[in-house]
Structure 1
Amino acid sequence: MEKKISGGKKVIKWLKKHLAFDKNKDADIQLKESTRALKNPGCGWYHIYTFDLSKENFLYIDCEEEELVLLLIDIHAFRGCEQIPKEALEYFSSILTFFEQHDKGIILRIVYDTNGRGMENEPSSIKIVKSHMKQLGSIICEHMSKKESLPGKILVHQGLFVGSWGEMHGSKFLSEARMKELSDTFLEATKGSCPIAVRKPVQLRQLSCQKTASNTNFTLFNDAIFGSETDLGTYGTIRKSALSENSEREKTPWAREDELSWQQSFMQQSFCGGEVLGGMNTVSESPGNTDYPQRTLDWNQVVADLAKMHVSYLNSIYSKEVLDDWKAHRIMWNGEEISEYDYIGRHMGYRFTVTQVKISCVSPEKKKQTQDTQNQISENVITFTIKNTGFANMCEEVVCRLILTKNNKNIRAFEIKSDPSTWNSGTDTVIECHIPKEVWTQKSQQTKLFLQLTRKRDGRIIEWANEEYDCQFGVLLSSVD
Structure 2
Amino acid sequence: MKKKARLLLLFAGVIIIVGMCFMGMRWKIAWEAVNFVESDKFLANRERGFYNMRGIRISDDSPVSGEILEGISREHPMETLELLQIHIGTYQDREISSSGVEQIRRVFRAYADREQPVSLIVRFLYDWDGNGAQSDPASISIVLRHMEQAGELLEEFQDQVYIVQGVFVGSWAEMHSSRYLTERSYLTLIGRMHEVMPENVFLAVRTPAYWRMAAGRTEPLQESEAWKTQEMISRLSLFNDGILGTWLDCGTYGDLHKEDSESLSDSWVRSEELDFQKELNLYVPNGGEVVLDNALNDLENADEALRTMHVSYLNRAHDMQVLEKWKNTQYRDSGSVYDGMSGYDYIERHLGYRFVIRDVSAKISGWKWEKPSLTVNVENVGYAPRYTACRTEIIFRSRESGEERTVTADTDARTWKPGEQTSFTVELPELPAGAYDVYMKVTGEKDRTAVLFANEKITAEDGGCFLGTIKKGE
Q: TM-score, normalised by structure 2?
A: 0.82
Aligned equivalent of 1:476: 466
* Secondary structure of the structure 2 residue equivalent to 1:311: coil
1:183 aligns with 2:190: yes
1:37 aligns with 2:42: yes
Q: Percent identity?
A: 29
Aligned equivalent of 2:7: none
CA displacement at 1:441 relative to structure 2: 5.0
Structure 1 CA distance, aligned partners of 2:101 and 2:263? Answer: 42
Conservation of the 8 A alpha-carbon contact between 1:405 and 1:412? yes
1:383 aligns with 2:383: no
Aligned equivalent of 1:72: 85
* Secondary structure of the structure 1 residue equivalent to 2:161: strand
Aligned equivalent of 1:11: none
1:460 aligns with 2:449: yes
Conservation of the 8 A alpha-carbon contact between 2:409 and 2:424? no
Conservation of the 8 A alpha-carbon contact between 2:358 and 2:377? yes
Conservation of the 8 A alpha-carbon contact between 2:29 and 2:470? no
Structure 2 CA distance, aligned partners of 1:192 and 1:453? Answer: 23
CA displacement at 1:125 relative to structure 2: 1.6
Give CA deviations for 1:349-393 in whole Å, capped at 9, x if unaligned: 1111111223334543xx5xxx3xxxxx40x34322111111111
Aligned equivalent of 1:196: 203
Give CA deviations for 1:114-157 in whole Å, capped at 9, x if unaligned: 0111111111221111121112222112322xx4xxxxx11111
Call closer, same or farther: CA 1:189–1:393 in 2, change over 3 Å: same
Q: Which amino acid aligns with 1:70?
A: L
Give CA deviations for 1:409-440 in whole Å, capped at 9, x if unaligned: 4522211121112211221111123334x227
Conservation of the 8 A alpha-carbon contact between 2:86 and 2:124? yes
* Secondary structure of the structure 1 residue equivalent to 2:93: coil
Aligned equivalent of 2:11: none
Structure 1 CA distance, aligned partners of 2:362 and 2:246? Answer: 51
1:166 aligns with 2:180: no
Conservation of the 8 A alpha-carbon contact between 1:280 and 1:298? yes
Structure 2 CA distance, aligned partners of 1:425 and 1:450? Answer: 23
Conservation of the 8 A alpha-carbon contact between 1:49 and 1:71? yes
CA displacement at 1:472 relative to structure 2: 2.8
Structure 1 CA distance, aligned partners of 2:460 and 2:360? Answer: 20
Q: Which amino acid aligns with 1:325?
A: K
Give CA deviations for 1:272-313 in whole Å, capped at 9, x if unaligned: 21011035524xxxxxxxxxxxxxx54332112111221111
1:231 aligns with 2:273: no
For the aligned residue pairs, the C-alpha RMSD in angstroms reads 2.5
Call closer, same or farther: CA 1:441–1:277 in 2, change over 3 Å: farther
* Secondary structure of the structure 1 residue equivalent to 2:284: coil
Aligned equivalent of 1:435: 428
Q: Which amino acid aligns with 1:452?
A: K
Match of 1:267 among 281, 284, 306: 281
Paired residues, number: 419
Structure 1 CA distance, aligned partners of 2:452 and 2:87? Answer: 35
Structure 1 CA distance, aligned partners of 2:300 and 2:412? Answer: 30
Call closer, same or farther: CA 1:441–1:465 in 2, change over 3 Å: farther
Q: Which amino acid aligns with 2:360?
A: V
Conservation of the 8 A alpha-carbon contact between 1:27 and 1:360? no
Aligned equivalent of 1:277: 291
CA displacement at 1:475 relative to structure 2: 2.3
Structure 2 CA distance, aligned partners of 1:232 and 1:170? Answer: 14
Q: Trace 1:227-376 onto structure 2 (pairs within 5 A).
A: 227-241=245-259, 243=260, 248=262, 250-282=264-296, 298-332=298-332, 333-334=336-337, 336-364=339-367, 367=368, 371=369
Call closer, same or farther: CA 1:420–1:193 in 2, change over 3 Å: closer
Conservation of the 8 A alpha-carbon contact between 1:41 and 1:67? yes
* Secondary structure of the structure 1 residue equivalent to 2:157: helix
Give CA deviations for 1:38-73 in whole Å, capped at 9, x if unaligned: 111111111211111113232223422111111111
* Secondary structure of the structure 1 residue equivalent to 2:181: coil
Aligned equivalent of 2:102: 90
Aligned equivalent of 1:12: none
* Secondary structure of the structure 1 residue equivalent to 2:172: helix
Aligned equivalent of 2:9: none
Structure 2 CA distance, aligned partners of 1:319 and 1:335? Answer: 24
Between 1:407-416 and 1:423-432, the stretch displaced more is: 407-416
Q: TM-score, normalised by structure 1?
A: 0.81
Conservation of the 8 A alpha-carbon contact between 1:463 and 1:471? no
| Greater RCO, CA 8 A, separation 6+ | 1
Call closer, same or farther: CA 1:212–1:324 in 2, change over 3 Å: closer
Structure 1 CA distance, aligned partners of 2:373 and 2:204? Answer: 43
1:221 aligns with 2:210: no
Conservation of the 8 A alpha-carbon contact between 1:156 and 1:197? yes
Please say which structure displays the higher CA radius of gyration.
2
Q: Trace 1:47-62 onto structure 2 (pairs within 5 A).
A: 47-54=52-59, 55-57=62-64, 58-59=68-69, 60-61=71-72, 62=75
Conservation of the 8 A alpha-carbon contact between 1:362 and 1:381? no
Aligned equivalent of 1:4: none
Structure 2 gap ranges (5+):
1-26, 227-232
Give CA deviations for 1:302-357 in whole Å, capped at 9, x if unaligned: 11211122111111111111111111112244164211111111111111111122
* Secondary structure of the structure 1 residue equivalent to 2:340: strand
CA displacement at 1:74 relative to structure 2: 0.8
Conservation of the 8 A alpha-carbon contact between 1:84 and 1:132? yes
Give CA deviations for 1:446-476 in whole Å, capped at 9, x if unaligned: x311111122246422211112422336222
Structure 1 CA distance, aligned partners of 2:414 and 2:381? Answer: 14
Match of 1:448 among 424, 430, 437: 437
Call closer, same or farther: CA 1:252–1:124 in 2, change over 3 Å: same
Conservation of the 8 A alpha-carbon contact between 1:350 and 1:388? yes
